[in-house]
Structure 1
């Protein structure tokens, strides 16, 4: 599994595991099968509805608004990357914990997303994983033994409420 930085168990909960496992006290998981055209828009709407149910939206504070927008952007980037580089996404999973919101996008691709060294400021393309890295606490790739494909996951901090 690749990751952007070490994931110490004492800081953020248990080490990230295979798809479908529980990390950092995940309390609720939502799943959406992603088949056919319009998957990025459907994934964003699904994420927006989950954030509404979890009382992130409508946002009360600027911090909550920014956190919700970050989640929607990360969902868009991960699903778009699966469309462009992995033959399309299979499933979007969102898990809400006490400190972390985890986003997972499963696909049938065997490649591993990486930060592009050839990206150029002001030019389209090549910025997706830089955005994910910038907005998330951590991200990585999980491969389940004997199962084709992979799951790209990202974790964002839950906004502090008063």
Structure 2
């Protein structure tokens, strides 16, 4: 685990070459959420917010594994307004919905639908050797306290 930027609010995990990157990313995110006082949860709304964040991390890391040539890094950046999740990969192509060609009897193909529904915003930006997919969620009003760092 590495932290870059304001140590209290910006966490970075190198995923390149890591075994089980989705599981490791979820564990890393849980540790960050605990440090930022999102955990332990005290209300159903706070529990839902944490579960949404963990699902979003799982989706963007899994998409990097399946479609991006493998994840590079995971960055979590928390302010008192939002949590930003960033995952890099080596594929410069922007993610695209599975579309109507997907067999509905087969699992998968719903990742971007989930991201679109749970995130307040998401997108991509080009990287030095691929792209970065970013996702933002609002800081939940149900949580007491705020992420440390600049406001």
- Give TM-score, length-normalised by structure 1: 0.78
- Please give the residue correspondences for 1:107-146 in structure 2 after superposition, counting only pairs within 5 Å: 107-118=89-100, 119=102, 123-144=106-127
1:116 is displaced (CA, Å) by: 2.1
Secondary structure of the structure 2 residue equivalent to 1:60: coil
1:102 is aligned to 84
1:125 is displaced (CA, Å) by: 1.1
Cα distance in 2 for residues equivalent to 1:120 and 1:155: 30
1:36 is displaced (CA, Å) by: 2.5
The reply on whether 1:39 has 2:21 as its aligned counterpart is yes
Deviations 1:81-108 (A, max 9, x none): 0000011000000000111100000111
Structure 1 stretch displaced more, 111-120 or 53-62: 111-120
Cα distance in 1 for residues equivalent to 2:103 and 2:49: 27
The one of 42, 58, 68 aligned to 2:50:
68
Secondary structure of the structure 2 residue equivalent to 1:103: strand
1:29 is aligned to 10
What are the ranges of 5 or more consecutive residues in structure 1 without an aligned counterpart?
1-19, 22-26
Cα distance in 2 for residues equivalent to 1:52 and 1:101: 13
Secondary structure of the structure 2 residue equivalent to 1:57: coil
1:77 is displaced (CA, Å) by: 0.3
Cα distance in 2 for residues equivalent to 1:120 and 1:66: 30
The reply on whether 1:80 has 2:80 as its aligned counterpart is no
- Give TM-score, length-normalised by structure 2: 0.84
Count of residues paired in the alignment: 136
Distance 1:63 1:120, change over 3 A: farther
Q: What's the RMSD between the two structures over aligned residues?
A: 1.9
Name segments (4+ residues, structure 1) moved above 6 Å: none
What are the ranges of 5 or more consecutive residues in structure 2 without an aligned counterpart?
145-151
1:50 is aligned to 32
